Amino acid sequence: MKDILDLEKPHPDYVSSPAELMGISASLAILVKDTADKLEKLYPGWLWTIQPDEFAGMVYVFSLRLSGEYGYKLKIKEIQDDETRKFAMRAGGEILERYGCKGRYSRAQLAGKMQDLRGNFIPDLTDKAGRDQKRDRDRVVTKAMDEGRIKFRTEDHQLEDGTTRRELFMQIGGDDDNADQTG
């Protein structure tokens, strides 16, 4: 597993020093710091990054342990008027949930998770109802595979241009002669 955080190279989109906060209001800088502190206390170790955009009236919440690309967008007004920063805390929890993680950071939570070529983990971007349905279907399919009721096989076909086309077949049921196949 590749650790995506490289502290030697600053990321161009994130604040890495106080000098980079020049140009935003002091109250926004305090809000960003306070929000990051509260996220770190609630979900420790995930390397929370809060990117302010005063012009747009937004802050962007990311966990650099997971991805610097996918995060959460919040209106400054939503978190500014609430000392508990509950919208930001929910955003942090939602980010972790979409990556299948929770609570305190541990490397074990990331074991086996899919990553893109840059080392960012890949989130589940479906809505909650769809995500729950997908997880239920995944459990049913996994159980059926464990019991031998569903089997997968692949066939590779060499094309005239020299490339290979791979077909995936799913066999449902135990009888090879009467099994449904989907390609």
Per residue in 82-112, pLDDT (tens digit) is 888 888 899 999 999 989 899 999 999 998 8
Structure confidence by residue, pLDDT tens digits, 51-61: 998 889 999 99
What is the sign, positive or negative, of the torsion defined by CA atoms of 102, 89, 39, 121?
positive
Domain residue spans in the chain? 18-110, 128-182
Q: Identify the band that residue 22 occupies on the pLDDT scale cut at 50, 70 and 90.
A: low
Distance CA 144, CA 56 (A): 49
What tokens appear for 91 in the block? 């955003």
> Which residues are 87's β-sheet partners?
none
> Which residues are 48's β-sheet partners?
63
Return phi, psi of residue 93, to 5°. -65, -40
